[in-house]
A and B are shown apart, each in its own frame.
Chain A
Amino acid sequence: MNSLLREAILKNSMNKQGSIFYDSAIYLVLLAFFAGGLFALIGMQEGGAAIWEQYYISQIVRVVNAAQPGDTIVLDMQKASEIAAKNDALNKETLIIFSSVEHEVCVKLSSSTKKTCMFYFNDVLVTDVHFAQGVPGNVLSFNVREFNSGGTNE
């Protein structure tokens, strides 16, 4: 009788251990998914590159819309280049792209394949786009011309 009772207690406790392990494993898996998703969400922000792209694009469009033919514009790009460098996206070819034909300007500060673009309504030609480092600071300069006056490639 005692041995039977002992056997029953032992079996019951083993069942409980198995149950605790099973429940903990499920919770750990759920926690791992949760933590992984959380870090992925934060990592995707890339230091707020998306917001800075929108800020710079809206400022550049504002400047181009206010520009008159004959103007030379110089913009401070120090912060933008720091963010792009941090995201391994500091490339003079893709940092700021003007398309005078489409009246569009694009900014790319992250390593993703997408860039942020906006159109400007001022019918001007943007030429001689140049990104200079250590002027001091990093600056972007470009010239604004009449649309039909011609100029060098942007």
Chain B
Amino acid sequence: MNKRASLGEQSMGVVFIFFLALISIGIAGGIYVFYGSGVDARAIDAQQLAAQVRECIESGAANSQMFQTELFFEPCRLEENILSEYYTLQVKEGAQKIYSIGNPEACRFTGTSENTAFPRCTGITFIHTGTQYEIIAGSSQKPRKVSG
């Protein structure tokens, strides 16, 4: 009879652990929500890239030939390695695509704005010297932790 009573007490221990785990998850969730999930500056990053490319075209520093031959980086003051690693960029002159890097198609998916695996994109259209240009720029760069 004592053994049966002990079994009941041990069962309560499992319930106790369950409630502890539940409270731990709640507190950990609260800490995560309070301190936030990080700062997402990709949208502003993409806007700045698009603006810099637009300024480069409008100032005449780069033309469509330079975009097609990938010689626009220096005149537009863009770092090529970083662009290819963390950014998406597509430049169209009229209907013709004159430069593309990354995956601009991912920018067209609806519903990806909340998914951090996809880049945050922006698009601008403008007319320069009678020609319509379209720039799609996207950023997938997030702050990262580095040792040292």
Most chain A beta-carbon neighbours within 10 Å: one of B28, B83, B145:
B145
A114's partner among B48, B86, B145 (CB-CB below 8 A) is B145
In the complex, which residues of chain A have a beta carbon less than 8 angstroms from the beta carbon of B82? 103, 119-121
Contact between chains at A121 and B31 (CB < 8 Å): no
- CB pair B9 A23 closer than 8 Å: yes
Asked whether any CB of chain B lies closer than 8 Å to the CB of A115, the reply is yes
State the main secondary structure of chain A at its contact with B. helix
Name B79-99 residues within 8 Å CB distance of A: 79, 82-83, 85-87
Residues 26-37 of chain A: 1 if any B CB is under 8 Å from the residue's CB, otherwise 0?
110011001001
A57 touches B35 (CB 8 A): no
Which of B31, B77, B78, B143 has the most C-beta atoms of chain A within 10 angstroms of its own C-beta? B143
Tell me if B63 counts as interface (CB < 8 A to partner A).
no
Q: Known contacts A53-B143, A115-B145: does B31 contact A45 (CB below 8 Å)?
A: yes
Q: Determine if A116 is an interface residue (Cβ-Cβ < 8 Å).
A: yes
Residues of chain A within 8 A (CB-CB) of B48 are 62, 65-66
Name the A residues within 8 Å of B23 (CB-CB): 34
Given A26-B13, A117-B146, A118-B141, are A123 and B79 neighbors across the interface (CB < 8 Å)? yes
Closest Cβ of chain A: how far from B14's Cβ, in Å? 12
Cβ of B52 under 8 Å from chain A: yes
A106:B146 contact, CB within 8 angstroms: yes
- Say whether chain B's binding surface is mostly helix, strand, loop, or mixed: helix
Question: In whole Å, how far is B83's beta carbon from the nearest beta carbon of chain A?
Answer: 6
Query: Is the C-beta of B111 less than 8 angstroms from some C-beta in chain A?
Result: no
The residue among B17, B45, B78 with the most chain A CB atoms within 10 A of its own CB is B45
A residues adjacent to B (C-beta < 8 A): 12, 15, 19, 23, 26-27, 30-31, 34, 37-38, 41-42, 45, 48, 50-51, 53-55, 57-58, 61-62, 65-66, 103, 106, 113-124, 147
Chain B residues proximal to chain A, CB less than 8 Å: 2, 6, 9, 13, 16-17, 20, 23-24, 27-28, 31, 35-36, 38-39, 41, 44-45, 48-49, 52, 73-74, 77-79, 82-83, 85-87, 141, 143-148
